[in-house]
Structure 1
Amino acid sequence: MRLGINLRGDLAKLSNEELASYLEKCIADREGLGSHAGYGANRWLYKTGAAMPFGRGPLHARIFYRVMGLMYGGPLNGRSLGDLYVLDCEIKDIMDELKRRARATRRHRLRRSS
């Protein structure tokens, strides 16, 4: 379970198929960006987690990820560490939404079987 306030109602509104498609798109974008985003020491700092000490932050929303990515990773020009950070946060949010749905489905099944 993540810490922070979830402001990602946009993900909750997506169907399972749309959510899976969005996850695949984000992963593909991340694979393409991950190999060439940032330079030397900055890339190393990002991979070790030292460059983003607060993770996703207390407020989980795309606008806050973009602000933090801009502050820590540089301009959001499609090939910076800031863009990589935004994509990583998106992927984590999608995974959290999938886990939330799986827990809800499991609870629903348990109630029906009781």
Structure 2
Amino acid sequence: MSTPPVAVLAYPRFHAILRWRSRQVGTVRIGINLRGDLAKLNDEALKSQLEKCVADRQALAPHVGDALSRRFYENRVSMPFGRGPFHARIFYRIMARMYGLPLNGYSLGDLYLLDCEIKDIIGELKRREHIARRQGLKR
């Protein structure tokens, strides 16, 4: 069986950071993935982009909004539809505006955009891992 891509090996470390966000483990997420830019990246570039996004999120998270707003955000009360039906940066900005989240560089809206970016990268890693496993079983 072939080894998974390098970026997939780093996946569990980053998944722990987002575990509090994924309360619907095992459910099917319905959405149209429009992130062709991630599919074009090689494993190393994808891994470095994921590390950069996670570092940005860790730096931003403690400083955005007040405690009550952060609590609502963490418990998904303020965002009942998550990323929305279309997975692309422009649609995340639209969804952030629909949720009433400001986008000014240090707000909950920016944290939402980072979380969506991280979820997209992790989704791409899962897709590559699934393909690698499927190709390994066919050999």
Cross-structure match for 2:85: 58
Question: How far apart are 1:38 and its partner, in Å?
Answer: 1.2
Deviation readout 1:12-63 (Å, 9 max, x if unpaired): 0100000000000000000011011112322111011101110111111111
CA contact (8 A) 1:73 1:85 kept: no
1:85 paired with 2:112, answer yes
The residue matched to 1:77 in structure 2 has which SS? coil
Question: How far apart are 1:73 and its partner, in Å?
Answer: 4.9
Counterpart residue identity of residue 124, structure 2: E
Counterpart residue identity of residue 24, structure 1: E
Alignment TM-score, normalising by the size of structure 1 = 0.92
Give the direction of change, closer, same or farther, for the CA distance of 1:73–1:40 in structure 2 (3 Å limit): farther
Counterpart residue identity of residue 16, structure 1: D
CA contact (8 A) 1:73 1:83 kept: no
Runs of 5+ unmatched residues, structure 2? 1-27
| Runs of at least 4 residues off by over 2 Å | 70-75
| Alignment coverage as a number of residue pairs | 112
Which of 88, 92, 97 is matched with 1:70 structurally? 97
1:35 paired with 2:62, answer yes
Runs of 5+ unmatched residues, structure 1? none
Percent of residue pairs bearing the same amino acid type: 64
CA distance in 1, matches of 2:100, 2:125: 27
Deviation readout 1:56-99 (Å, 9 max, x if unpaired): 11111111111212332532111100000000011011001000
- Structural RMSD (CA): 1.2
CA distance in 1, matches of 2:80, 2:29: 15
Cross-structure match for 2:76: 49
Alignment TM-score, normalising by the size of structure 2 = 0.76
1:95 paired with 2:133, answer no
CA distance in 2, matches of 1:71, 1:38: 17
